[in-house]
Structure 1
Amino acid sequence: MADFQGYITLFLIWLVSTILIRAIFTKWRTTVHLPPSPLALPIIGHLHLLAPIPHQAFHKLSHRYGPLIHLFLGSVPCVVASSPEMAKEFLKTHETSFSNRPKIAAVDFLTYGSADFSFAPYGLYWKFMKKLCMSELLSGRRLDQFYHIRCTEIKWFMQSIMEKAEAGEEIDVREELIRVTNNVISTMTMSLRCSDSENEAGEVKRLVQEVAELTGKFNLSDFIWFCKNLDLQGFGKRLKEVHERFDSMIEKIMREHEEARKKEMGGGGDAAKDVLDILLDISEDQSSEIKLTRENIKAFILDIFAAGTDTSAITTEWALAELINNPNIMEKARQEIDSVVGKNKLVEESDIANLPYLQAIVKETLRLHPTGPLIVRESSEDCTIGGYDIPAGTRLFVNVWAIGRDPNHWENPLEFQPERFVNEDGTLKSQLEVRGQHFYLLPFGSGRRGCPGTSLALQVVQTSLAAMIQCFEWKVRDGGNGTLNMEEGPGLTLPRAHPLICVPVARLHLFP
């Protein structure tokens, strides 16, 4: 009987809470003119509407409620922009109001309290790091200095695939691509290759995979206010273990760099420096406008790996899958490479400018399969957009995935058609760029917080894809005549639901 009375009491508390919350919310909506919104549930708000894949769920909601909708994800107020026009309003017209990223518990912990660049609050430190990225760390001049690294890694990548082709082995395309992108990033950043699983770079590879997994999982503490200080899902222990491993490993690498720098006493020249050397230089510069701490350096290194490895590999994997499903496009790209590069040497970065159709294939892949399907920001002040009030502290989701499939801006939006990016004379259309100037194509974001590594990402993706097209035929594992399954899987970086397993068949023998 006592148990029954307890259940009745809990039910009454829940019922009263629901009525009060609904009344308060209704009164608030009458005084603040918010965008359209579906009916919210107590406590969880609209969280139940986001399964299984948030950007797809947002897209379906936009069909019913319009290109700008208001949601409560738990206790977090959010708006979702699903059209180029709305994206422009938020990311350009009102960019200053939406220059912050929201604080996510796992990311904040792993990046030493958002001491990194990607999630740092918009302010003096972030502006300093942005300028540093564009002028030093990821500038065209710096990327040119790392050209030989990318060239060498692509050759080793092709040689590795050739060995498997000669043995008739099948490969997991994403795993192979992650290996080459990790090698590029780790060598540029710390002068260490991830292929050697016994060294620190091999540990970085494992840690980055765990970081991606932890930060990509739904965490109640980010959305339900009374769960903020509770670890109901047991993330805390795992986060602490990964953080301690990363900190121990990166401290060892930093000390090794510092000892080597003391021995060289400034020798080696600028061209011999990796990204970590440059960051250490700036941290030791007494005249620098911002003093970089060791935590800033460690968090920035984690940023580079987290943002630069998985994303490039997944984009290339999607591109190859689309080409396998569209053999006529694959053949057209191969003919372009053969005519420009020939059949006696491996395609290189310097050839890409003369391969407009290949560039169009990558752009079309980024349109349909953006590895950042949602741009996430947070408002720092009240503003009015599209006639609606957007209060300070509102989380913004710009649905890049939906915008790339908007039938108002793209003809036959669900079809893979690289020709849409090419003029009749074979040149690329200048009005269809991917660097954030055009709001119907935003794979790298836009404005102040757009991706600073766009040039590096394009170089790696375009060159690796071109080499894979040039050197191999790609046979799907089951040998069937049907098309590949193009279903998306859960995750922050838009992975395929099913790994792309292929048997490479050598087409050109360019390696001894």
Structure 2
Amino acid sequence: MDYSIMLLWTLMVWACIHLLFLARKRGLSNGKLPPGPIPLPILGSLFKLGSKPNESLAQLAKKYGPLMTLKLGSTTMIVVSSSIMAKEVLQKNDQSFSGRRVFDAVRALNFHESSIVWSQPTTRWRKLRTIFNTEMFTTARIASNQGLRHKKVQDLIAHIQEDRLARRAVDIGQATFTTTLNLTSNTVFSVDLVDPNSKSAQDFKDLVWELLKESGRPNLVDYFPVLRPIDPQGIRRRIAANLKKLYAIFDRLIDERMLSTSTSSDSPRRNDFLDVLLNEKDENGLQLGRQDILPILTDIFIAGTDTSSTAVEWAMAELLHNPNAMAKARFELKETIGLGQQVKESDIIRLPYLQAIVKETLRLHPPGPLFPRRTIADVEVHGFSIPKNTWITMNVWAIGRDPNVWAEPASFLPERFLDSDIDFKGQDFELIPFGSGRRICPGLPLAFRMVHLLLASFLHSFDWKLPNGMMPQDMDMSSKFGITLQLATPLRAIPALND
């Protein structure tokens, strides 16, 4: 009897081993998850992320490869860290990877449900993308606002002239943010939102940065969804409080528009983006409600102001840190535009070194270092099987510093782009600071013009110096991590007379 039981147990163990072997063999033939660090119980590899996940993930990718799996708490994340893998994901399998990984922070006030940035690729999302592409960021509309952009930039230059005469240092990020903010508000509301000389500009920037900082803060709920009801770090609560402040500003502007329309029957449409949203109806006659419009406006102002101003601030920092590149840029502007002449958007095409500076800045310092996505179907990539609803992180920062693609990847060398066709418009996967495919940033055409125009105007109008006798090698070029990647120490520089 004992022998029979032993034989039965032996057969059962053998059968289990055989089934596991077959399952493993079947898994291998159908693909498996990419390699990655061995996770600890419960926590997984959370401790490996650090305070700058873009840099930590880039280091891990050197060991585990450009397609890597991390277990983070109870979730699984796939990290893409090379242009080859990015092309597989964003071109060959773009539809399968078109879902959005939603952080718990952006669930505040159900923001993620109406936001074009955070909502999933539904019919409604596609319709909103169409509205953006056909009403706000068309070539015709962008061209029609060219005069406004030139005026706002000249207002900025005049404001900096006052700083020059007073021998005051300029907060480059703040000055650029104020200008891009008013450009965005004129495109959307037909009014300036802030006065460059008032505290309101800094208050608005602080509000936007708080939203970005909280959204990018490591949140236990993202890795342990069971904690969502208690929001242990209070991140969602703080996001909600800041969103309410932002919504109050937008509510006031919407109410003023609706009041002016209702009290005057012959009040003309301003043909700005707010008019588009207020009058938008689908084929069934359903109008966008206030709860839909407020998150859309938030998307526009956060993405349209912070990313552009951050890119210009990084470009100016790199040029002050690399005086030879600064001298080359200013010489190109002097020879092409001429001293005393205003830089225009039509001049950009004649400024190849300036364009190279912008590309090199976006390579080294992409405004969004990590792009979060989610698979909406099972998909195979490079022999690995990635299940539906898996988190995907595109490490754009690592892709831009890949030593297999870029010589001296950590160095600021605009010259690398002078004889190169690589661009950042989503087709060259070595350089994708604005994303690619279905979820590429819809504001890219406007951002292209604004960043070049602002940077060229700064360089052509003034000779810039570091304050307090600081030398270029003494500059703090480190970054602080959030949804966007900003300078750890805000850049301040002294404008001098251009000669």
Q: TM-score, normalised by structure 1?
A: 0.87
Asked whether the 8 Å contact 1:186–1:201 carries over to 2, the reply is no
Give unmatched runs, 5+ long, in structure 1: 1-26, 424-428
Find the aligned partners of 2:249 and 2:470 in 1 and give their Cα distance: 46
Pair 1:319–1:248, CA change in 2 (3 A): closer
Check if 1:131 corresponds to 2:130.
yes
Check if 1:450 corresponds to 2:440.
yes
Find the aligned partners of 1:327 and 1:339 in 2 and give their Cα distance: 18
Q: Map Cα deviations across residues 365-384 of structure 1 (whole Å, 9 max, x no partner).
A: 11111111112100111111
SS where residue 40 of structure 2 aligns? coil
Pair 1:265–1:349, CA change in 2 (3 A): farther
Q: What does 1:118-197 correspond to in 2, within 5 Å? A: 118-196=117-195
Check if 1:464 corresponds to 2:462.
no
Alignment equivalent of 1:273, drawn from 267, 271, 274: 271
What residue in structure 2 maps to residue 252 of structure 1?
252
Question: Once the 2 structures are TM-superposed, how far is the Cα of residue 116 of structure 1 from its aligned partner?
Answer: 1.6
What residue in structure 2 maps to residue 392 of structure 1?
388
Pair 1:357–1:91, CA change in 2 (3 A): same
Pair 1:183–1:223, CA change in 2 (3 A): same
What residue in structure 1 maps to residue 217 of structure 2?
217
Give unmatched runs, 5+ long, in structure 2: 1-21
SS where residue 174 of structure 1 aligns? helix
Question: Once the 2 structures are TM-superposed, how far is the Cα of residue 267 of structure 1 from its aligned partner?
Answer: 5.2
Pair 1:48–1:407, CA change in 2 (3 A): same
What residue in structure 1 maps to residue 15 of structure 2?
none
SS where residue 229 of structure 2 aligns? coil
Letter in 1 for 2:455: L
Q: Percent identity of the aligned residues?
A: 37
What residue in structure 2 maps to residue 503 of structure 1?
494
Asked whether the 8 Å contact 1:193–1:201 carries over to 2, the reply is no
Question: Once the 2 structures are TM-superposed, how far is the Cα of residue 60 of structure 1 from its aligned partner?
Answer: 0.1
Asked whether the 8 Å contact 1:153–1:184 carries over to 2, the reply is yes
Asked whether the 8 Å contact 1:315–1:365 carries over to 2, the reply is yes
Asked whether the 8 Å contact 2:320–2:472 carries over to 1, the reply is no
Question: Once the 2 structures are TM-superposed, how far is the Cα of residue 407 of structure 1 from its aligned partner?
Answer: 1.9
SS where residue 255 of structure 1 aligns? helix
Pair 1:235–1:67, CA change in 2 (3 A): closer
314-323 vs 208-217, greater mean Cα deviation: 208-217
What residue in structure 2 maps to residue 359 of structure 1?
355
Aligned residues: 473
Question: Once the 2 structures are TM-superposed, how far is the Cα of residue 330 of structure 1 from its aligned partner?
Answer: 1.3
Find the aligned partners of 2:385 and 2:312 in 1 and give their Cα distance: 40
Find the aligned partners of 1:347 and 1:46 in 2 and give their Cα distance: 50
Question: Once the 2 structures are TM-superposed, how far is the Cα of residue 236 of structure 1 from its aligned partner?
Answer: 4.3
Q: Map Cα deviations across residues 232-289 of structure 1 (whole Å, 9 max, x no partner).
A: 11234423322333333322221211122335546546xx42211111121xx46467
Pair 1:305–1:169, CA change in 2 (3 A): same
60-69 vs 113-122, greater mean Cα deviation: 113-122
Find the aligned partners of 1:289 and 1:461 in 2 and give their Cα distance: 38
Letter in 2 for 1:456: L
Find the aligned partners of 1:115 and 1:232 in 2 and give their Cα distance: 25
Check if 1:303 corresponds to 2:303.
no
Question: Once the 2 structures are TM-superposed, how far is the Cα of residue 470 of structure 1 from its aligned partner?
Answer: 0.7
Pair 1:399–1:235, CA change in 2 (3 A): closer
What residue in structure 2 maps to residue 492 of structure 1?
483
Letter in 2 for 1:52: S
SS where residue 305 of structure 1 aligns? helix
Letter in 2 for 1:403: I
Check if 1:107 corresponds to 2:106.
yes
Q: Map Cα deviations across residues 414-467 of structure 1 (whole Å, 9 max, x no partner).
A: 2212122113xxxxx4x3111110111101100010001011111111111101
Asked whether the 8 Å contact 1:37–1:69 carries over to 2, the reply is yes
Letter in 1 for 2:180: T
Letter in 2 for 1:44: L
Q: Map Cα deviations across residues 277-334 of structure 1 (whole Å, 9 max, x no partner).
A: 111121xx46467642222211110000111111111111111111112222211111
Pair 1:356–1:177, CA change in 2 (3 A): same
Find the aligned partners of 2:418 and 2:317 in 1 and give their Cα distance: 21
What residue in structure 2 maps to residue 476 of structure 1?
466
